[in-house]
Amino acid sequence: MAVNLREKEVDELLSIDGVGIFVGQAGIKKAEHDDLTLFVLSEKNTIGAVFTQNRFCAAPVHIAKQHLFDEDGVRALVVNTGNANAGTGAEGRERAKEVCVAAAEKLGCNPTQVLPFSTGVILEPLPADKIVTALSRMRPATWADAARAIMTTDTIPKSASRSGQVGQNHTVSATGISKGAGMICPNMATMLGFIACDAKVAQPVLQLMTQEIADATFNSITVDGDTSTNDSFVIIATGRCGQSEIDNIADPRYDQLKALLQDLALELAQAIVRDGEGATKFITVSVENAESREEARKVAYAVAHSPLVKTAFSASDPNLGRLLAAIGYSGADVDTEHLRMWLGDVLVTEKGGRAASYTEEEGQRVMNEAEITVRIDLRKGLEKAVVYTCDLTKEYVAINADYRS
């Protein structure tokens, strides 16, 4: 079940000038089901993108990386669900290219101006013929339609919009969608994320911004510790809001735009965790006063990945020794005598052991909540990191045991 997550209404999502959306039914895994999405982009847009670091990255990831920097610019994104086109070798790459050719013929652009994206079952050939046929009969759609069309094991579509002032006289609008519920772990997760805004940003600057936003959002979530083959996160800047170009990171508008888009991306990333397969609880693991951000992330992920910790949260069991054990094996140089840990508003650990003020009743009170924060103070430095995760339930096992049936 989704944890405090709801589907956005169509009128809550801002349309973005310079982006056309179409959906269709290719019948890849299910009949009469929207499983194909086409984003058509105006000329002179710029795109930033980051992709999975899994060495078995999928065929569309290979092709999208090659096409991303086409000198004529990207004009379309094609997204299919039901088949990941991963573990398919050279044939998979050829089938991804076949989809790009068909989309290019439809739009009157070069195949290298099309970025392909796939998600679904691994090790099965992509039915490119079905996608090519479906491209010829797609229908105009909204962001909400696209959010539904890119779902796999998601229980609810994920979308959000933001608008805000960037610079003196311009308001920037942004809308994004994401998908993902399982095989979620940096870098990144079995997720697809697409954000479009009408700001004007030079490509190298947008690429850096995309990476920074990904690190703070989609690279700070985990459901099960498995890194997928198809993860992709894209930010599109159409340049239609009328502002001059942001062409360097020293421009004050860079931080303003980054804050706007990062807030949007964080909502989309957290929505993936809230919709974690079988999840009943949303958990924030915050590590502070570390010597480095890397150290803080080590500790946070050790806690967030631990199956014993996650099953304790599922059972609402204040078996908090599991959290301490995870911190201890994280690989960080932790001073156990100085470390402090809170569960919600309850101090649990200090001076190397249980806090004198802690009671099982207070721990149980917090564990019964649907949203829980674990705060860990390493008391060593000034750096921090936050990771978002969920509990691990029997339903997670059932969903993944039956995924291909």
Helices 203-216 and 252-274: crossing angle in degrees, nearest 10, is 40
Of 190, 227, 389, 393, the active-site residue reads: 190
Angle (nearest 5°) at CA 276 between 275 and 282:
80
User: Residue 204 contacts by C-beta under 8 Å, 6 or more apart in sequence?
Assistant: none
User: What is residue 109's three-state secondary structure?
Assistant: coil
**Encoded tokens for 344:** 């919600």
Nearest to 231 by CA among 84, 111, 115, 37: 84
> Is omega for the bond preceding 191 within 30 degrees of 0, making it cis?
no
How far apart CA 79 and CA 180 sit, in angstroms, is: 14
Q: Is 117 helix (H, G, I), strand (E, B) or coil?
A: strand
DSSP letters, 300-330, are: HHHHHH-HHHHHHHHTT---THHHHHHHHTS
| Residue written as token pair 């349309």 | 15
One-letter identity of residue 388: Y
Cβ neighbours, 10 Å, residue 349: 22
Q: For residue 112, indicate whether it is catalytic.
A: no
Please identify every residue annotated as catalytic: 190
